[in-house]
Amino acid sequence: MDVRPARAAHWDAGETLADRFRAHAGDSQHLYGYAMRGMADDWESGGPIRMASRGYETAPRGALVQLRLLAGEFRLVLTGQAPELIRFYPCLGGTDPASEAWPVMREVIATHIEDVHAALAVAPQTNEVGRSAALLAGLFDLVAASGVRRIRLLELGASAGLNLLLDQYAFRGHSWHFGPSDSKVQFADAIRGPVHPESFEIVARAGCDLNPVDATTADGRLLLTSFVWPFNLDRHKRLAAAMEIATSWPVRVDKAPASE
């Protein structure tokens, strides 16, 4: 499923939050497509979304206010404060049609306006373990080119550092495999094109981030989960499994800008 902002090229400087919500939704038929179109109408009619978004009317486009709102609402669902929405969230077993969700979502926002408003202060943050496949392909190439097999892995903008644990994940290709085969994180055919596996050892690992997340805490796991779209089931599965691994293999992620 393509979840990139739709019609991004047509956004312009005079846009309102409603314009951005609509542009991001496009005509997507998934839960967040319906939600963002509903949010746009609600913002224009002065409903709970307008109240929850107060103070963010001129936030930069890159602040992605719509994703902050949706993650704030998702956290309400994940923490049991909005059980009426579970039936629309596929990652929680929900199977009801996305097209019917917005009125229920709006009611939840109306009931929790201050919680949703507070959620706008939290910048979207995703730690996508799937990127480990690209990292592994790059490491194979580096080892082949340099002959160096002892690696210090340092990541800028590491979030919770889950990609620093790639040697704890299992990768399988047509005629090769890497990592513990019984890992809870499994990748099959995740690297396209020819792969020339090399053996290497990660002897040190660390990251930095402006806002590091500690995946060994319930709050950290809640935050990361809330920014993954509820219908991206594979991504939720990978994230949950990687966070479980991280509780046994905590990685150090310093709070620091990449420039340091």
**3-class DSSP state for residue 237?**
helix
- Residue of 131, 177, 196, 252 interacting with ligand SAM (CB under 6 A): 131
172 DSSP β-pair partners: 177, 188
Work out whether the CA dihedral 226, 227, 233, 239 comes out positive or negative.
negative
Our finding on whether 211 is near ligand SAM (CB under 6 A) is: yes
- Residue of 53, 125, 225, 226 interacting with ligand SAM (CB under 6 A): 125
Our finding on whether 209 is near ligand SAM (CB under 6 A) is: yes
Q: Nearest-CB residue to ligand SAM?
A: 157
Nearest-approach distance from CB 63 to ligand SAM, in angstroms: 13
Tell me the residue ranges of DSSP E strands in the chain: 150-156, 170-172, 177-178, 186-188, 201-209, 252-255
Our finding on whether 132 is near ligand SAM (CB under 6 A) is: no
- Residue of 157, 190, 206, 249 interacting with ligand SAM (CB under 6 A): 157
Nearest-approach distance from CB 123 to ligand SAM, in angstroms: 7
- Residue of 15, 81, 122, 126 interacting with ligand SAM (CB under 6 A): 126
Our finding on whether 111 is near ligand SAM (CB under 6 A) is: no
22 vs 6: CA distance, rounded Å: 9
Other Cβ atoms closer than 10 A to 194: 8
Site for ligand SAM in 137-156 (CB under 6 A): 155-156
Cβ-proximal residues to 97 (8 Å cutoff; 6+ apart), any chain: none
- Residue of 208, 215, 223, 239 interacting with ligand SAM (CB under 6 A): 208
Nearer to ligand SAM, 86 or 151 (CB): 151
Our finding on whether 226 is near ligand SAM (CB under 6 A) is: no
Buried b (16+ CB within 10 A) or exposed e, 163-183: bbbbbbbbbbbeeeebbeeeb
